[in-house]
Structure 1
Amino acid sequence: MARTIAKDHREKRGHILKTAATVFASEGVARASMNHVARECGISKANIYHYYESKDALLYDILETYLSALRSRICELPLDGLSAGEKLHRIVSEVLLAYEGMDNEHKIQTEGIPLLAPEQQTVLRGYQRDMVRLLSEVLNDLAPDVFAGNQEKLRSATMSVFGMLNWFYMWNSGANETERREYSDLVARLTLNGVKGL
């Protein structure tokens, strides 16, 4: 007979994901152990294996949960009827707002994704590519003559915008909503008009 799922399964799973993300971010994914995660969660090692059969399964669930939600939040923004400039402002603002409280999940992407199975990497990188593609399309709409089919130049510009947003995340993780909106406005205006536009 199959084991029934406890009523608080979802809550416990969420607690494990957040705690494991903290452990992985502080210890490094490769060095962190399921024993450490279980200890920080306040549960037994046997109990954590009830939820996840391996560290890789746990890592994948952390990143898939985070990136799929981030992808949905950014790529499903209601942008119809907005100018390209307004779309840019909306996207960069939403990215910074979405990063709030997700420092650990964001941090472990770089180390964590290459450690996963190729098919899992494909799923996660697909979420990332969708967000990059959306911003690229907006930047191309802003200055089609500048990029003129030069995909490398467009990619460089796109990743530069994400780089500015990730800089803020790295050095201002405790920023509140107002500070995030103010910085996202600066990034959008800098992208649109250069330094003189600030």
Structure 2
Amino acid sequence: MARTRANDFEEKKHSILVSAATVFADQGMDKASMAQIASHSQVSKALLYHYYPSKDALIFAIIENHLTKLEQAIEAADKPEVEPEQRLRDLIWAILDNYKDADNEHKVQLNALSALSDEQKAEIHAIERRIVKRFSNTLDQVNPDLNTPERPLLMPVTMSLFGMMNWVYMWFRDGGPITREDYADVATNLVLGGIKAVR
């Protein structure tokens, strides 16, 4: 007879992912142990292995869960009927708002991808490509001249924007002199003001 799932199965899985992301971010992927993660999660090692059979499985689950939530937030914010400039502003805000309280998960995404199998990397890259495509489509609408065969600058501009957003966790602190929403406007205005100068 199949074993039934506990009522709090998904809640426990999520709690373990949050704890594991904290341990990985603090200790590094190589130094962090399953014992440390179990202790931080306040579960037994046996229960931890029941949910996630290896560190690699944990790392994949953290990144996949983080990016899936990010993609869902971006999809909800993306309204093609809106003017391209406002559409870009909404997409940038969706990213920065979603990054709130997710610094540890973001660090794992940036630093631990090499620990994954080729199949896992392919799944992660597929999500990342879909996210990037939404931004490049919008930037293309803002300035179609970026995407010419002679000088294909759409992708460099798109990835420069992601550089601004992806590394914000290194310096931004909630409660500081500017809010997260303020910085979303700063990043948008930098892109919208600078994109017109890119030829």
Common topology (TM > 0.5)? yes
Please identify, of 152-161 and 72-81, the stretch whose mean Cα deviation from structure 2 is larger.
Answer: 72-81
How much is the aligned-residue C-alpha RMSD, in angstroms?
1.9
Q: What residue is the counterpart of 1:34 in the other structure?
A: 34
How far has the Cα of 1:150 moved from its partner? Answer: 5.8
After TM superposition, give the deviation of residue 110 of structure 1 in Å: 2.3
> Structure 1 residues 90, 151: CA separation in 2 closer, same or farther (over 3 Å shift)?
farther
2-structure distance, mates of 1:10, 1:186: 37
Name the CA distance, whole Å, in 2 between partners of 1:168 and 1:108: 15
Query: Which residue of the partner structure matches residue 134 of structure 2?
Result: 134
* Unaligned segments of structure 2, at least 5 residues: none
Count, aligned residues: 194
1:7 alignment partner AA: N
Quote the offset at 1:152 in angstroms: 4.8
- The aligned counterpart of 1:117 is 117
- The whole-number CA distance in structure 1 between the counterparts of 2:96 and 2:16 is 25
Deviations 1:62-102 (A, max 9, x none): 11111111112113424132111111111111110010010
Q: Select the structure that is richer in helix.
A: 1
The aligned residue for residue 6 of structure 1 is 6
Q: Percent identity?
A: 38
**TM-score, normalising length: structure 2:** 0.90
- Aligned AA for 1:17? L
Deviation at 1:14, TM superposition (A): 1.3
Distance in 2 (alpha carbons) for counterparts of 1:38 and 1:145: 53
Q: What's the TM-score, normalizing by structure 1?
A: 0.90
Distance in 2, Cα, partners of 1:145 & 1:128: 24
List alignment gaps of at least 5 residues for structure 1: none
Q: Cα deviation per residue 1:122-178 (whole Å; 9 max; x = unaligned)? A: 1111111111111111111111124324675211111111111223222114358x7
Give 1:17 deviation, angstroms.
0.6
SS of aligned partner of 1:72: helix
| Greater Cα offset, 83-92 or 167-176 | 167-176
Instruction: Using the TM superposition, name which of 116-125 and 178-187 deviates more.
Output: 178-187
Aligned to 1:97: 97
State the shift of 1:20 in Å: 0.3
Q: Aligned residue for 1:75? A: 75
Aligned partner of residue 194 in structure 1, secondary structure: helix
Counterpart residue number, 1:44: 44
